[in-house]
Structure 1
């Protein structure tokens, strides 16, 4: 796909959406904003859809035009400029759903992450064999090369946990996800050992919700909450089998923060969580 035809990234779309919110808050139409900014209405619309790259200076000029005085927000938005992020995930653009690429890009830029999973180990904490077993279970099934392609993508996403300044991760996982046994006993034992090793890392907090807790706020849906420089720019991704759905409205973000807070309150502390993982591993 020629560069000019590439769809905007999730980061570009979010920047455009935030500029549109600022314009609407200022009660300006796109036509009025274009006239005052010295641009065309189509250019303003293209910026707001993420289809036209903008500079940090243009973002600041538009913010002033829209009477925005929230300097932390303006600084954060200016930091989202600069065109496409040529990350490793771009090599998968023709072969994987766009939501998968959006997920990798969002993980790359997040300051920290909060995850909650009921029946799956978070992808960022999966071994290759465990991931392979999951991908093979998809209906309709992928052929072997497609399985390996998706596994390689999932493992590459995990680089955010190993870089020089790794992303901080808090994961709440239900005991069910530890016991389902995807891939058989050997794969499960290796996966549990990997979870224990990762949970010892300073930037990773793993907490288990045991059977018998009595509730699981959020109806069991997988939730990934990405925290950014300022809370207003946080993002939620809801777990789907073959793609990724994103939520970014302030009321929805507040709701999912509350859900994650309750899940973390229901979970065992990190030490007791490791003890439970050890116990399950010995019973396999």
Structure 2
């Protein structure tokens, strides 16, 4: 089978984890290839996500790399053998690949933690709010590119609405609630939608009030997706060229600590709902 020309972020992550196993054991790529009965080129493809790996080969590699973390190995096997063809595949060739990678990341996440300061998090946005966000571009997107983006964003919400829904904790600054994205009607509908989501058992929404002193986390925007084990968590942040996925342990440790730091400035869920209702009354 020829190598994949455009591996997904999830496939690349699996390959990177295989490389970590090999390097932690002090094994060269040539030695690993010989162990698996293949050649160095194919080993390179495995470690870059351009080729898949069977469960038998993965477990053989892990055993010979003396990896004793059974939960990690099982999680990697699940990634390697997963054949899910998610709804996001309908947008391949229609939207940039990062949109598909985002949806796949969230679909497989065991939990999502989100921080947003000047806008409503994508997973909580209404259709009209999302359309206003995607419309505010220079140059403007033509309808045939705008509408798939809005539709894709709406379908991402399925992880919160399915049964059981993915556990979600979103922290939003009050400023994001008060910025009138779109019309007054759009803003009201968005706030109402946040209230509805906040009533779900799997969703916790917390707001950082304007009067919170010493909050300087305007640049702490992030989405942290939980993997099957903590080392497989993924940090998603906006970067100058688009969206970046970060997986280094130091980055994940820092992100978890930052989330907790920002959360300390937020209201509880009940007080948050009261504040959202107050903002609605003042619109």
- The TM-score normalised by the length of structure 2 is 0.95
Quote the Cα distance in structure 2 between the aligned partners of 1:250 and 1:58: 25
Distance 1:217 1:258, change over 3 A: farther
Counterpart in 1 of 2:69?
A: 70
Three-state SS of the structure 2 residue aligned to 1:80 is helix
Partner residue in 2 for 1:197: 196
Distance in 1 (CA, whole Å) between partners of 2:249 and 2:193 is 35
Q: Which residue of structure 1 aligns with residue 99 of structure 2?
A: 100
The alpha-carbon deviation at position 240 of structure 1 amounts to 5.2
Matched ranges for 1:53-64 at <5 A: 53-64=52-63
**Segment drifting more, 87-96 vs 260-269:** 87-96
Q: CA deviation at 1:212?
A: 2.2
Alignment deviations for residues 78-100 of structure 1 (CA, whole Å, 9 cap, x no partner): 11112664211112121212111
Alignment partners' CA distance in 2, 1:215 and 1:144? 43
Stretches of structure 2 that go unaligned for 5 or more consecutive residues are none
The match for 1:90 is 89
The alignment of Structure 1 onto Structure 2 pairs a total of residues equal to 282
Q: Which residue of 1 aligns with 2:262?
A: 263
Tell whether 2:242 aligns with 1:243: yes
1:37 is aligned to: 36
Q: Indicate yes or no: 2:49 matched with 1:50.
A: yes
List per-residue Cα deviations over 1:97-125 (Å, max 9, x = no partner).
21111110000000000000001101111
How many angstroms apart in 2 are the aligned matches of 1:130 and 1:268?
Answer: 24
Segments of 5+ residues of structure 1 without an aligned counterpart are none
**Cα distance in 2 for residues equivalent to 1:242 and 1:159:** 27
SS in 2 for 1:145: helix
Is contact 1:14–1:50 with CA below 8 Å preserved after alignment?
Answer: yes
Alpha-carbon displacement from aligned partner over 1:113-153 (angstroms, at most 9, x marks no partner): 00000011011111100101111002221012221111001
Tell me by how many angstroms 1:43 deviates. 1.4
